[in-house]
Amino acid sequence: MFKLLTTRTATRAQIKSRLIQNAFESTASTAPIEQVPRFVTYEYFLARTTNMSLPVYLEVKKNKAVKHTLLQRIEGDISKLRQELSDELGISPSKIKVKPPRAIKITGDHTEAICEWLTAKGF
pLDDT surpassing 80 at residue 106: yes
pLDDT surpassing 80 at residue 43: yes
Read off the pTM: 0.65
The pLDDT tens digits of the residues spanning 1-39 come to: 445 445 455 676 776 666 666 655 544 455 555 555 566
The pLDDT tens digits of the residues spanning 85-105 come to: 999 999 999 999 999 889 999
User: What's the mean pLDDT when you consider all of the chain?
Assistant: 81
pLDDT of 63 reads 85
Residues 93 and 37: their CA atoms lie apart, in Å, by 32
Q: CB-side exposure of 70: number of CA atoms within 13 Å?
A: 14
